[in-house]
Amino acid sequence: MRVGVLALQGDFAAHAARLHALGAVAGPVRTAAELAQVDALVLPGGESTAMLRLMEPEGLLDAIGIRLAAGLPVLATCAGVILLAAGVTPAQRSLAALDADVTRNAYGRQLHSSVARIRLASGLGGPAEMEAVFIRAPRIDRTGPDVEVLAYRDEDPVLVRQGAILAATFHPELGADIRVHGWFLELTATRAA
């Protein structure tokens, strides 16, 4: 099983390093041809409008949309969640693959970045909280009926799952807790079985 990490902009190297540390084969995805070779994909944080511009020459957004519709497992973090959301404020293009509405930079600009304790839904195992790094993070304002909320920051959903999509509004690759990437690899293995 090969996990691709969208490597156009953002902290893609930290995701690849975390996946390697967990025993996964992970490599960069910059082209539609590279996307075709992976069994799962990470959409990292960064700047969503910059990512959209960088995907245009390769038609990568549409290629990702086709793979998502076919069941490709995806871990989206921060800006990656914006790329997947059904609704985005302020409005921008997205794949609308995750039945959720988000507001970009809802927790503040770069200077308001923070580490916060989030609480996990029961059934995920202990500990029941984890530290999460929020950098210009989007806020999930609405989730659809098929979206399972796995973690909250105060009352805001910050980690959700819908089918083969695991979406975190924070940066799990920058924290010490490896569980989000572990859950993604479990999800990917389950979908492949």
Among residues 34, 78, 129, 148, the one annotated as catalytic is: 78
Higher pLDDT, 34 or 190: 34
- Residue 173 designated active-site: yes
- Residue 186 designated active-site: no
How long is the chain?
A: 193
- Architecture per CATH, domain 2-192, reads as 3-Layer(aba) Sandwich (3.40)
Give per-residue pLDDT as tens, 34-47.
Answer: 999 999 999 999 99
Give per-residue pLDDT as tens, 111-134.
Answer: 567 789 999 998 787 889 999 999
pLDDT at 11: 84
Among residues 34, 47, 148, 173, the one annotated as catalytic is: 173
pLDDT at 114: 77
Among residues 20, 56, 155, 171, the one annotated as catalytic is: 171
- Residue 112 designated active-site: no
Q: Which residues of 69-105 are buried (b: 16+ CB within 10 A; e: fewer)?
A: eeebbbbbbbbbbbbbbbebeeeeebbebbbbbbbbe
Give per-residue pLDDT as tens, 51-66.
Answer: 999 999 999 999 999 9
Q: Beta strand 156-162 with 114-120: parallel, antiparallel or unpaired?
A: unpaired
* pLDDT for 190 beyond 60: yes
Model confidence at 148, pLDDT cuts 50, 70, 90, reads: very high
Q: Considering Cα of 104, then 155, then 115, then 4, what sign does the dihedral take?
A: negative
Any idea where the domains of the chain sit in the sequence?
Answer: 2-192
